[in-house]
Structure formats: structure tokens, C-alpha cells
Amino acid sequence: MQVIHNQVHDIFALSKNKFYVRLWVQKGFVRCVTLIFSDRYDLEAQKVKMDFYMNVGSFEVYTAQVQNKTPRFAYKFLIELLDGSFKIFNQFGLADTEENLYFDAFQFPYANEADIFEKPSFTEGLVVYEIFPDRFKRGKKEVHSKKLFDWDYCSWDVPGSEVFLGGNFAGIKEKIEYFKTLGINAIYLTPIFKSLSSHRYNVDDYFDVDPLLGTKEEFKDLVNSLHKNGIRIILDMVFNHTGVEFFAFQDVIKNGENSKYYSWYNIKSLPVDVQKGNYETFATNVNSMPRINTSNKEVQDFFLKVLKYWLLEFDVDGFRFDVANELDKNFIRRIRRELKSIKKDILLIGEVMHRSENFLMGDMFDGVMNYFSWEVFARYLVGKYNAEDTSRILADYRLKFNPVLFSCQLNLIGSHDTERVLTRLNKNKKLAMLAAVYNLTYQGIPMIYYGDEIGMEGGHDPDCRRGMIWEEEKQDKEIFKLYRRLIDLKKTSSALNSDNVKEFSIVDVLCFERKSESEVVYILFNPRKALQKVKLWSEFIVDREIEFFSTQQKIKNHSCYIELELNPESFEIVLVR
């Protein structure tokens, strides 16, 4: 019998004296599990029967949330086997008896303040809308600083970074009513700082906005207008690299080793030559983006001044950090400490395009852009994974984290760095709608990439960055209506904002269970081309009112199961109240 308890992934302090504990036990051996715990010095033990939570692959997962007498927590597990015998599981493994009461126990020595993750209070019901400013809306403002391409340009015979459509702050402000109609309550802007490119990820001045977008006064007015309408704003910060016109890099070009900023960069040879790119860059040989050394304290000090400037002067609500996985981790921890001391509710999101366990321990980011879970679900949609494997992979990944922290993951189905969801799914509108359901019902903060809500298409960068389609006759009204309904459900459902989540499968139908004290929501997906008949068993649906999202039909259910027919490439959301 294999038993797993990982003290990195399976125990968390929820408050000073409250702890959340998981135990993984191989299927087919266990009748029940008891958690035995105490103060690590007192040893006057308390006992609580652990709840069977869910099956994940070949394991049964048991959980308990307990109130200890003190912040010092010693614990072990008493496992009753199916044959009636007992095993103790402690830090040395499985045993028939205990050798030493004190040294055998697992220890959470003390729940210090830094051990307790608190998510920003406004994240419940939060729905984020990502805007690529140059491509969203050209507001009513004369701009003469750049040659502007036609708004529907998408031939890409010119490099995307040199294509300017002229979207600006005025255009975003003009669409506040659109945001309210859609229902989103937060906006994430890709970089707005002075730059030579339209994407602005090669920043030349972190303390000024790009003049093509407007002025700092106009940006402050935009923030105030959004806040007055209940919409928060998140800025994109690029600290992995700078632009070549950034003052420090220019000084290195001019003064070489004598520059006071020489140690800010990894210069391979002198003199610095932008054409040759004889310095470390973002990615591989992206000469316009010299990589900056975030392990350097002077660099850290500079960027912290940048963050505090935009936080204090413009009252922004969060930051997203570009190429976050390559930043110095101690720098990220410093960012968290210093910003949270100024504004406790600031939301900190990292761009990590792979598994993120080592970035989500509660001491760095609140969340990351959850590309991993989306990739798993996308492979299910196109038939690369079946429902059983999908549920296992999703659950196994989610259960590496504090459940409170996982609620802060920025869920997405596309961004400025990927194909648009409709293109990714071979222009299959039905599957794109299933993706939208996943995005707005899975645990985390849903992020909608501008235009996905009206069915925009687009391949990889730069094609995914086309100008927003504003002609209503070209917008997909069915997709837009679905997004509006899903956003409303996300904002009003207590279950969809809880930390209680389960993934499971019925035949090849993937299912999510979301549960709060007053409500249970089941989300079922059938991306296949055949009708699927499923029987959903649950103790929570007996003598409860059930509403079906797709038809808005309501019934009173008196049995412990309901039968559903899922048409090909369809979904259902079952609300139990």
C-alpha cells in the first residue's frame, strides 16, 4: 500500500491555528483515515476523521480542515485497513506502532504570518478582460506621431511590432459601457509604457506612457473612470528585459565597462552592437530586448520604484509580470513584501507558461497565467486526451497547491501570445463555446482575451493581435450571449467562487463539481461527435431544486441521481440549490 503526504503540497496554514491537510492513499486498501494532532510540545492529542475527498488516478485523497489549540502543529495519520487492522503513517512512513511520540510526528513548527496565504478580497467573482491597447479601439483623438495602418490590417507583410493601428486610452474609455454590458469587472492592459514597438514589450521609459496611447493625465482619468464603474485595472510590467533606448542600456553602449549600469546586463563583448546583439537578450537573439539582471540589487531598487510609482500615483489594482519565470525569485519575494505592505489587496500575477509549483508557494505571486490547465483541457477538446486522463491530470496539478491560492490562478483560453481559441480549435464554434464554459467555471480567475467573446480568429503572434471587430454585423452574437450568461453566473454563484472543487469523468464526459454551503454546480462537457447519455449520482441533489443552464428549465429532484443527454459537442451546467 502506497501512502503519500508531501509537506510542501499537502499541508497549509489557513490561519494562525487552522490547518488544511491532505493524505494520498493507494486505492483499495483503506476503510477510513483519522488525523491525530496536537501542539508540537503539548502532545495532548485531538482526533478527527478525515473526509474522503476524491479519487485521482490510482489514489484516494483524504482531507481535513482542523482547528488546533496553538499555531504549533504536530500530526500523524491512523489508517484503518479493510481487514480491520490499523497502520500509523508518520514522517518515517508506515508503521504498526510508534517508536517515539515526539520525533515520529510530522511537524508544522509554527504558523507564522508569512505562512498564511491571503488572497486579495476582490478576487471573488472577478472576471478579467485582456486588452492589447494598440489593437482595441482608436479613440476620438488626433494622433500624428506614427503612420497608422488600416484597422482591419492582417496581411503581416510588415513585422507585427512595426504595425500601429492607433488604439489608445481614449478608445478604451469610450468602451466602458461595452465592458459593463459584457459584465467584466477588471481589465488587464499589456504594456502601456514608452516604446519603439506596437507591442511595447521593449520598454524605453518605465515612468511614462507611450504618446500614441495618450498622456499620463489621460491614463489617470481612464483609471478613475473604470473605478467609478466598478472595473479594476492590472498593468503589465516587463522586468526581464528592457528596450535598447532605455537609459541604462544607452549608457552601457556609450561607456562600456565604465558605465555604472554595466552590471545590469550580461554583455558578451565590447563595444555593444545592437545589430550584432552581443549581449544576452530575451529569448534567443531578440536584439531589441536586452535581458536585464534582476539579481542585481540596483536593478531591483529601480523596478520597485517603478511599481510604487504606478501603484501610488495611479491607484492601479494589480500587476502582471512578463517572463516571470526568469526573474530572480528573491526579487519576486521582495516585490510581494514591499507592495503588500503598501496595498494589501494588490493582485500579483506571473506569466509562467508551464507547470508553476515552485512559483506558487504563497511567498511570490498570488497566481500565474494558467496555461497548463488550459493546455490539458484543449487536448481533451480535440481528442488527444480522454475524459478520465484529463480529470486526473487537472486534479493532480491542482492538488499541488493551497486551495485558497489556486483560486487566484488566471485561467485563460488564449492571449496575445497564442492562437485565438477559435483558430486553435480549427474554427469549430461549438468547441470554442465549450472552452469558454471551462474558462468561466473552473477554479480560478477567468481572463477573456479581447475579441474572443465575439468569435474573433487569429493564428500565432502577430495574427492573434488583430484590431478588435466593432462592426456588430461581423460579431458572433451567439458566442457573445454565452459569455454574458457565463460571466453573470461566475459573479453570482457562490459555488463557482468556492475553493471546493472536484474533477471526474463519466464515460468520456468530463465533469467539474463546484460546491459551497448553499449551492452545488456540476459542469459537464461532451466534445465528441456522438450523443452521450450520463447518469449523475450525488447525495447533494436529493430533494433539491435543480436548474439546467442550457434550457433554464427548473425541476424538483427527489432521487440521488439525474439522467442527462449531452448532444454532440455540447455542455451542460447543473445548478443545485
Q: Kindly list the catalytic residues.
A: 322, 351
Nearest to 544 by CA among 567, 568, 575, 523: 575
Secondary structure E strands in 160-283: 186-189, 193-195, 203-209, 232-237, 281-282
118: CB partners within 8 A, 6+ apart: 344, 404
Which helix (H) or strand (E) element contains residue 104?
helix 101-104
Residues facing residue 56 across a β-bridge: 59
185: CB partners within 8 A, 6+ apart: 125, 126, 127, 230, 231, 232, 491
Query: How many Å separate Cα 345 from the centre of its chain?
Result: 16
Query: How many Å separate Cα 183 from the centre of its chain?
Result: 19
Q: Strand, coil or helix: what is 82?
A: coil
* Cα–Cα dist 62/33, whole Å: 7
* Cα–Cα dist 221/129, whole Å: 19
* Residue type, position 109, single letter: P
* Cα–Cα dist 541/514, whole Å: 13
Nearest to 235 by CA among 319, 330, 333, 347: 319
- The CB density around residue 297, as the number of other CB atoms within 10 Å, is 11
C-alpha cell at 20: 488544511
538: CB partners within 8 A, 6+ apart: 513, 520, 522, 560, 561, 576
Pairing of the two strands 73-81 and 59-67: unpaired
Angle of helix 329-342 relative to helix 297-314, nearest 10 degrees, comes to 30
C-alpha cell at 277: 546583439
Query: How many Å separate Cα 111 from the centre of its chain?
Result: 26
C-alpha cell at 256: 562600456
548-574 burial code (b ≥16 CB/10 A, e <16): ebeeeeeeebeeeebebebeebbbbbb
- Give 345-411 as a 3 state SS string: CCEEEECCCCCCHHHCCCCCCCEEEEHHHHHHHHHHHCCCCCHHHHHHHHHHHHCCCCHHHHCCCEE
Secondary structure E strands in 538-577: 544-548, 554-557, 561-566, 570-576
Residue 527 contacts residue 381 (beta carbons within 8 Å): yes
Angle in degrees, CA 528, 532, 533, rounded to 5: 170
